[in-house]
Structure 1
Amino acid sequence: MVDSLEISIMALKMLQNSALTHRSIKVSMIIVLGVMITLGNIAVLLVITSSVAGWSRNSRYFLLSLAAADSAFGLLVMPLNLCVSLLKDHTEGPDALCHVVAFCNASVYSTCMYTLAMISLERYVAVFYPLQYSSLMTRRRTLLLIAFAWCFPPCLLSPISFPGGIIEVHFSTASLVCNPSYSTNVGYSLSLTCVIFFPCSIVMTYANLRVWCAAKRQRLKLRRRGCVLVGRRHVASRVLVPVMAAYFTCWTPCMAAMIYNAVSGSSVPEWIEFVVVWLPTSNGFLNCIFYFWMNRSFRRKFYLVLQRLAMTLCPDLANALGWCSASSTQCVSGILDNNNSVHERSSSVSSTCTLLTLA
């Protein structure tokens, strides 16, 4: 009898140690991902707050909105969930803070999806209606679309923020996230996917597929006329395909797990839940790569911004790197970039990349 009790105690201690080890690994992964997302989007914001060659004003507005939404993953979502995970005791069940954190999580996720759909829609208009672009995508309409992407999700998801309301919220020890209890709110869970995920996915898929097909057809015509080099890479494929692949890879498992949880009433295994819940946040880092770093104008402008920061904060380092002359702070030719001399075009950055493919 005593031996069996000791064995049970030892097994319980091993389980606790294993849970603590898994928890430490998860927290470390979340912190690393948060730092990557934050640094990547801060670099993006430093560049696109000023004009970039080939990027119109509307494009910069949409991309600023996307960078801000992605930054919220690292600056808001991750710190809030880590605080709840590390500082609170969850044996007593959910409280008001957990409801607020779950509301912030869902709002940021939804805003990112809507912003990506708006960017795809703007790209579609720029490519297929270039002559009507200025009248269709006015500054007022652009700001209204951005406002809709930021304001509609909080209004739609507001029931999550009220403790004791129609939406139950729990803290998941598997994913270290405050989430609504989808199994007890099946109708609300399915309505969220029908109002947010599926409409955004349809808009993105249709718009990007049309742009990609148009670019491919035009490229084939120009190739037959000898206007395009055969060995030149297809820029539309290099940008649009990774963007859509990253979007569905990051978001589909999370939505599928949420629907499975709502319909079946049971949760997925621990590590699968952790991966699918935090996978959408990695889309905030991948957006930096596909929408910004793969663009030559952005890389060139980032290099100029980095040089200016180095010359302002550490002129000795800038001189050592050859960015400025040794006798003065006047920069070597090619470093200065006058933003006022950049003529903004009436096409988006994405459509510009696509049209450059056709030239």
Structure 2
Amino acid sequence: MLFGFLGNTLTILVVWLRPHMRSSTYLYLSSMAVSDLLILLLLPLDLYKLWRPRPWPLGDLACKMTMFLSECCTFCTILHITFLSLERYLAVCWPIMAKTLLTRRRTRTLIGCLWLGAAVSAAPVLLMVGVEDVGGEEPSDIDNRECRCTHYAVSSGLLSAMMVVSNLYFLVPLCILGLVYSLIGRTLCLRPQSSRRDQSHRHTVKMLGVIVLAFVLCWLPFHVGRTIFFFSMGTYFNLVSSVLFYLSAAVNPLLYNLMSEKYRHTVRSLTFSTNHLPRDGLTSLA
């Protein structure tokens, strides 16, 4: 949590305090960092529920909002990775069209629409979860209130519908990502490697490919784990997949740092409170 909080905060600061980092790619990455930060901030509550599932101390509204926020950020991250990859596809395969379509203003508007779409998709969670008494039929002095999926959600089929939506939110983007990166790879392989722009595209696509791979490795077990838990209560697999889910929210800044010299240089300049990059550094990193 601490590592992810520091890394994602640095990503946001790097983009918003350094104008040369406000390309469409880094605008997406900074918005993803906001989503990852919100996910990590919910980690202490998840740990608390594992340690002491009942009684839930924060009330019904907090129960609903924390579960909604977690689901909303999950959908939001998936949408960001998908649309960022589509943006790279346009930039590589249709560069003339990309110059017209991919402006900063449109990117900011699209990012806002992604957040809105994720919030609307996660809205049913507000009806699905709540604080319920899970005690036995006989009266007890023990407070058995728990933040959980309600009996209404199970009996009405809302839980099953939301599981389908959640899995589609992962499987459909996964198919899109596979197709997009296949087309990008094919296009780059057919072009000469001497073009400076294509070399820049190759580097960016390579970084995004690693981000997508980390996303799949961390989130595939999460979705499989939730499905197993839904059907057969596979607690241990679900616990491991949850660890990978939170790891995914923390690891992206490390990947940017490892794969992008531009990102490393800007973080270094921000850390040491310099006001600008060296001119030769800007030229080599452009």
Same fold, judged at TM 0.5 (above): yes
Residue matched to 1:255: 223
What are the equivalent positions in structure 2 for 1:79-158 lying under 5 Å apart?
79-82=44-47, 84=49, 89-90=54-55, 95-158=60-123
Distance 1:261 1:143 in 2: 37
| Pair 151,250 (structure 1): closer, same or farther in 2 beyond 3 Å | same
Cα shift at 1:62: 1.4
Distance 2:204 2:187 in 1: 10
Counterpart amino acid of residue 84 in structure 2: I
Distance 1:244 1:237 in 2: 10
Counterpart amino acid of residue 163 in structure 2: S
Distance 2:43 2:89 in 1: 33
Contact 1:72 1:108 in 2 (8 A): yes
Does 2:184 match 1:211? yes
Contact 1:190 1:259 in 2 (8 A): no
Does 2:166 match 1:192? yes
Distance 2:23 2:213 in 1: 27
Choose the corresponding residue for 2:207, options 236, 239, 243.
Answer: 239
Distance 2:185 2:257 in 1: 18
Does 2:11 match 1:44? yes
TM-score (norm 2): 0.75
What are the equivalent positions in structure 2 for 1:159-308 lying under 5 Å apart?
159-162=124-127, 167-168=128-129, 180=149, 185-194=159-168, 196-218=169-191, 222=193, 235=203, 238-262=206-230, 265-268=231-234, 270-308=235-273
Cα shift at 1:41: 0.9
Structure 1 residue ranges without an equivalent (≥5): 1-33, 172-176, 224-233, 309-334, 353-359
User: How well do the aligned residues superpose, as a CA RMSD in angstroms?
Assistant: 3.6
TM-score (norm 1): 0.61
Distance 1:207 1:294 in 2: 21
Structure 2 residue ranges without an equivalent (≥5): 133-145, 195-201
Distance 1:91 1:151 in 2: 29
Q: How many residues align?
A: 259
Contact 1:205 1:244 in 2 (8 A): no
Choose the corresponding residue for 1:57, options 15, 18, 23.
Answer: 23
Distance 1:146 1:283 in 2: 20
Contact 1:51 1:342 in 2 (8 A): no
Residue matched to 2:40: 74
Cα shift at 1:306: 1.5
1:46-90 Cα distance to aligned partner (Å, 9 max, x none):
22213465x553233212211211221223x21343455567734
Counterpart amino acid of residue 13 in structure 2: L
Structure number with higher helix proportion: 2
Residue matched to 1:330: none
The one of the two structures with greater contact order (alpha-carbon pairs below 8 A, sep at least 6) is 1
1:272-305 Cα distance to aligned partner (Å, 9 max, x none):
2111123122112222123344101111111111
| Pair 188,56 (structure 1): closer, same or farther in 2 beyond 3 Å | closer
| Pair 339,88 (structure 1): closer, same or farther in 2 beyond 3 Å | farther
Contact 2:71 2:122 in 1 (8 A): yes
The alignment partner of 1:260 has SS state of helix
